[in-house]
């Protein structure tokens, strides 16, 4: 159609809306329903009526029998078509700008008709029925939506009818989606925290819903596997050596134990030589690289520890079979280590073994540290610890609290600083250093853990030594918590590398994590590589180890975030259930009228308004004002310094 066939004041369609032609130039100048004007190309419009059209707002909906017109066209036979002029006459009995636009709206609606102004066809009967049903569903959906909004405005919801709309809010709260029309309608930004707040306000969720595992896409369960059998192989029988797995009483995955074979002392009571065994659950005997169980463990990265329970990296029946001390005789990979007078360790050998393990709690061991064999085991640990201290290790003690949810009750248990915990830590570090040094000497690629050294003005220990008297987690036990806080913040993050290098934070020339293969995948990789070396098989190359590190690091970083956020969530639930809570805090950082404090009894950091400057490490008494659970914030006021 050329420009000559369109006249001023003709009725056209532009982008689905009616428009009036004003003048013809190289383009069409048209007027839109809102009064604005535009110059458009001829091909961008459809001509509906030659006019004249004086006002677009005079185009009103007409009454006519659309269904009868459709039936008449349908009865005309297959392939029957008509013009818009014919259709307007069939429906409304006339062809005017108003009837032309009304007829065209039916074509655009697409229920009974389809086509262009010059060739409009009736839709098939089955298509019309489907379109009418779809329109009815859409109208019903709109009605339910309006009813839901009315209830929402009054702070109510219908648990049956409104579930589809609230599921959209829930999906945003779990970060399964980024958009949510409910929040958009309410004028709130579409953030998971705002969705969480709305669900709490409505009572659709309560405070016991912890959204963080799902928000980070963490698997919540793992099933037992069938046919868990360890391969037949020669194992060194070490059942004659007393072996102890020391952990918290509720530990479910004991994966390390220790034994003392020989201890020689000089005439001053110092260690001349100690030979000891560190036994570790022999997971790599069952899980070989790239097998199905290995891929599953790799995808999980590590065991997830939540206040409401743990999600293991390995199937529960594998833990029951391989955990040390969970059976009368346990399979282990045992590291034979020698410690000299200066605390230097050497890996003498390592073997698949059989051990008979006694499980003990830290508290049980603490009560016996002055008796054999615990006195000797602590002497070894202390000698090694002193070597690390001389080599620049940092001992940063910060308040720790175990958060547990038992039958819906939140329990906060301040972690006591016990020498028995130090004892186990030092023995496990010995194993990590000995294995890393052995791997370095034999050119075995491993996931080594490295960290740059950070001098702290000659201060090696920035909080009290473990074993000093402590009343729960009172601030008196933390005389320089501000320095500990500052040092911790200044430390560079440790890195996992295929090349051995120093770990400045723990004061060791080489280190790898090798004692927790039940709950950390890269520890399992260490064991898999050592077993390949032990049996003379081809090792995983450096590139393969690097790929495994890359596959796991993102996952374990997410797990660490989920654990930290979940602990804070449940700590705030505890506070929310104790309105008006009061407790002490230690000032660790100050910026004008705002202070950063640590509440040792909660192991919680918070900001608080300060009426005047105070020295760092000042003990303050705080009162809880409010808890904002979705934002993970707790607000306090100082009631006295």
Q: Are 48 and 98 in contact (CB under 8 A)?
A: no
Task: Calculate mean pLDDT across residues 345-360.
Answer: 98
Among the listed residues 107, 113, 83, 105, the one whose alpha carbon sits nearest the alpha carbon of residue 95: 83
Q: Are 101 and 90 in contact (CB under 8 A)?
A: no
Confidence of residue 457 (pLDDT cuts 50, 70, 90): low
Q: Which of 2-16, 17-31, 149-163, 307-321 has the lowest mean pLDDT?
A: 2-16
Q: What is the DSSP string of 269-288?
A: S-EEEEEEEEEEE-GGGT--
pLDDT number for residue 61: 65
SS3 387: helix
Per the prediction, the chain carries an average pLDDT of: 92
pLDDT number for residue 605: 96
pLDDT number for residue 592: 87
Measured at the alpha carbon of residue 639, what is the angle toward residues 636 and 641, in degrees to the nearest 5?
110
pLDDT tens sequence across 618-635:
999 999 999 999 999 999
Q: Tell me: pLDDT of 558 over 70.
A: yes
pTM value is 0.83
Confidence of residue 458 (pLDDT cuts 50, 70, 90): very low
Q: Report how far residue 277's alpha carbon sits from residue 350's, in angstroms, rounded to the nearest whole number.
A: 9
pLDDT number for residue 598: 97
Q: Tell me: pLDDT of 219 over 90.
A: no
Q: How many CB atoms lie within 10 A of CB 149?
A: 13
381: cis peptide before it, omega within 30°? no
pLDDT number for residue 464: 41
pLDDT number for residue 98: 92
Q: Return the C-alpha torsion angle 290, 294, 296, 298, nearest 10.
A: -90
Residues 6 or more apart whose CB falls under 8 angstroms from that of 139 comprise: none
Q: What is the DSSP string of 489-501?
A: HHSPPPEEESS--
Residue 318 CA: distances (Å) to CA of 219, 252, 531, 602: 18, 12, 19, 35
Residue 405 CA: distances (Å) to CA of 207, 309, 410, 492: 12, 8, 5, 33
Q: Tell me: pLDDT of 475 over 90.
A: no
pLDDT number for residue 456: 58
pLDDT number for residue 2: 43
pLDDT tens sequence across 95-133:
999 999 999 999 999 999 999 999 999 999 999 999 999
pLDDT number for residue 222: 82
Confidence of residue 511 (pLDDT cuts 50, 70, 90): very high
Q: Are 329 and 215 in contact (CB under 8 A)?
A: no
Long-range Cβ contacts of 87-96 (<8 Å, 24+ apart) = 87/113, 87/120, 91/62, 91/64, 91/65, 91/66, 92/62, 92/64, 93/64, 95/49, 96/49
**Token representation of residue 142:** 């709109």
In the Cβ-directed half-sphere of 483, how many Cα atoms lie within 13 Å? 15
Q: Tell me: pLDDT of 451 over 70.
A: yes
Task: Calculate mean pLDDT across residues 304-325.
Answer: 94
pLDDT tens sequence across 6-15:
889 999 999 9
Q: Tell me: pLDDT of 365 over 70.
A: yes
pLDDT tens sequence across 584-614:
999 999 998 999 999 999 999 999 999 999 9
Q: Are 312 and 519 in contact (CB under 8 A)?
A: yes
Q: Tell me: pLDDT of 48 over 90.
A: yes
| Helix ranges (DSSP H) in 154-237 | 163-173, 181-186, 192-202, 212-215
Residues 6 or more apart whose CB falls under 8 angstroms from that of 174 comprise: 192, 211, 214, 215
* b/e code 327-358 from CB counts within 10 Å (16+ = b): eeebbbbbbbbbbeeebebebeebbbbbbbbe
pLDDT number for residue 133: 94
pLDDT number for residue 477: 63
pLDDT number for residue 501: 96
**Token representation of residue 521:** 């995948």
* Percent of the chain residues past pLDDT 70, beyond the cut: 95
Q: Return the C-alpha torsion angle 470, 476, 478, 482, nearest 10.
A: 170
pLDDT number for residue 55: 84
Confidence of residue 467 (pLDDT cuts 50, 70, 90): very low
pLDDT number for residue 474: 57
SS3 360: strand
pLDDT number for residue 78: 72
Confidence of residue 83 (pLDDT cuts 50, 70, 90): very high
pLDDT number for residue 596: 97
Q: Tell me: pLDDT of 532 over 70.
A: yes
Among the listed residues 634, 620, 595, the one whose alpha carbon sits nearest the alpha carbon of residue 475: 620
| Helix ranges (DSSP H) in 262-418 | 292-300, 316-322, 362-366, 374-390
Task: Calculate mean pLDDT across residues 518-544.
Answer: 97
Task: Calculate mean pLDDT across residues 556-585.
Answer: 97
Residues 6 or more apart whose CB falls under 8 angstroms from that of 311 comprise: 213, 218, 219, 220, 221, 222, 300, 303, 304
Q: Report how far residue 11's alpha carbon sits from residue 350's, in angstroms, rounded to the nearest whole number.
A: 91
Q: What is the DSSP string of 522-561?
A: HHHHHHHHHHHHHTTPPPPPHHHHHHHHHHHHHHHHHHHH
Q: Are 539 and 533 in contact (CB under 8 A)?
A: yes
Q: Report how far residue 520's alpha carbon sits from residue 531's, in angstroms, rounded to the nearest whole number.
A: 17
SS3 259: strand
Q: Are 260 and 383 in contact (CB under 8 A)?
A: no
Q: How many CB atoms lie within 10 A of CB 416?
A: 16
**Token representation of residue 592:** 């004008």
* Percent of the chain residues past pLDDT 90, beyond the cut: 82
Among the listed residues 521, 397, 517, 406, the one whose alpha carbon sits nearest the alpha carbon of residue 461: 397
pLDDT tens sequence across 378-432:
999 999 999 999 999 999 989 999 999 999 999 999 998 899 999 999 999 999 9
Task: Calculate mean pLDDT across residues 142-149.
Answer: 92
Q: Tell me: pLDDT of 641 over 90.
A: no
Distance, C-alpha 529 to centroid of its chain: 30
373: cis peptide before it, omega within 30°? yes
Among the listed residues 310, 332, 313, 311, the one whose alpha carbon sits nearest the alpha carbon of residue 321: 332
pLDDT number for residue 455: 64
Q: Tell me: pLDDT of 165 over 80.
A: yes
Among the listed residues 566, 412, 425, the one whose alpha carbon sits nearest the alpha carbon of residue 508: 425
Q: Tell me: pLDDT of 460 over 80.
A: no
pLDDT number for residue 476: 57
Phi first, then psi: what are they for 257, rounded to 5°? -150, 165
**Token representation of residue 90:** 């069939």
Phi first, then psi: what are they for 583, rounded to 5°? -170, 175
């Amino acid at each position: 159609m050329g420009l000559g066939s369109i006249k001023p004041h003709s009725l056209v369609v532009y982008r689905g809306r009616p428009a009036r032609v004003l003048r013809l130039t190289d383009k069409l100048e048209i007027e839109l329903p809102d009064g604005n004007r535009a110059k458009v190309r001829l091909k961008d419009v459809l001509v509906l009526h030659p006019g004249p059209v004086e006002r677009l707002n005079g185009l009103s909906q007409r009454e006519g029998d659309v269904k009868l017109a459709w039936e008449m066209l349908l009865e005309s036979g297959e392939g029957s078509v008509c013009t818009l002029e014919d259709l307007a006459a069939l429906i409304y009995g006339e062809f005017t700008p108003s009837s032309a636009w009304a007829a065209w709206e039916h074509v655009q609606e697409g229920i009974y008709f389809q086509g262009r102004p010059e060739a409009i066809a009736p839709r098939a009967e089955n298509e019309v029925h489907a379109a009418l049903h779809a329109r009815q569903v859409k109208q019903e959906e709109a009605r339910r939506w309006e009813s839901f909004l009315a209830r929402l405005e009054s702070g109510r919801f219908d648990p049956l009818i409104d579930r589809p709309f609230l599921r959209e809010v829930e999906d945003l709260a779990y970060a399964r989606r980024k958009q949510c029309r409910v929040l958009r309608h309410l004028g709130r930004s579409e953030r998971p925290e705002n969705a969480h707040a709305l669900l709490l306000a409505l009572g659709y969720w309560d405070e016991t819903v912890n959204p963080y595992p799902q928000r980070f896409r963490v698997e919540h369960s793992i099933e037992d596997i069938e046919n868990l059998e360890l391969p037949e192989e020669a194992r060194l029988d070490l059942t004659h050596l007393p072996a102890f797995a020391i952990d918290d009483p509720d530990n479910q995955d004991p994966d390390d134990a220790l034994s003392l074979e020989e201890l020689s002392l000089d005439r001053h009571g110092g260690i001349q030589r100690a030979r000891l065994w560190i036994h570790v659950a022999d997971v790599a005997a069952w899980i070989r690289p790239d097998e199905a169980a290995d891929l599953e463990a790799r995808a999980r990265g590590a065991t997830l520890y939540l206040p409401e329970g743990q999600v293991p990296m390995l199937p529960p029946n594998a833990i029951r079979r391989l955990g040390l001390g969970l059976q009368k005789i346990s399979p282990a990979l045992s590291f034979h280590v020698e410690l000299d007078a200066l605390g230097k360790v050497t890996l003498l050998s390592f073997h698949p073994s059989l051990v008979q393990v006694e499980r003990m709690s830290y508290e049980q061991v603490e009560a016996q540290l002055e008796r054999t064999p615990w006195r000797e085991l602590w002497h070894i640990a202390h000698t090694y610890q002193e070597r690390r201290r001389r080599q620049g290790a940092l001992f940063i003690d910060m308040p720790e609290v175990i958060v547990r949810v038992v039958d819906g009750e939140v329990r906060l248990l301040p972690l006591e600083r016990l020498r028995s915990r130090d004892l186990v830590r030092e023995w496990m570090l010995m194993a990590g250093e000995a294995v890393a040094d052995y791997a370095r000497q034999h050119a075995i690629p491993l996931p080594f853990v490295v960290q740059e050294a950070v001098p702290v003005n000659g201060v090696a220990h920035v909080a009290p030594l473990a074993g000093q008297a402590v009343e729960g987690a009172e601030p008196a036990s933390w005389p320089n918590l501000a320095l500990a806080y500052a040092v911790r913040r200044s430390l560079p993050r440790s890195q996992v590398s295929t090349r051995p290098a120093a770990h400045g934070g723990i004061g060791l020339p080489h280190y790898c994590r090798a004692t927790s293969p039940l709950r950390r995948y890269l520890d399992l990789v260490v064991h898999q590589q050592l077993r390949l070396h032990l049996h003379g098989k081809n090792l995983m190359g450096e590139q393969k180890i690097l790929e495994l590190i890359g596959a796991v690091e993102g996952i374990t970083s997410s797990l660490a975030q989920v654990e930290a956020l979940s602990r804070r969530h449940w700590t705030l639930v505890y506070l929310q259930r104790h309105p008006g809570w009061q407790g002490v805090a230690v000032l660790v950082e100050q910026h004008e009228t705002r202070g950063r404090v640590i509440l040792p009894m909660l192991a919680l950091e918070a900001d608080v308004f300060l009426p005047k400057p105070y020295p760092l490490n000042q003990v303050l008494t705080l009162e809880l004002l409010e808890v904002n659970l979705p934002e993970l914030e707790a607000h306090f006021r100082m009631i006295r310094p």
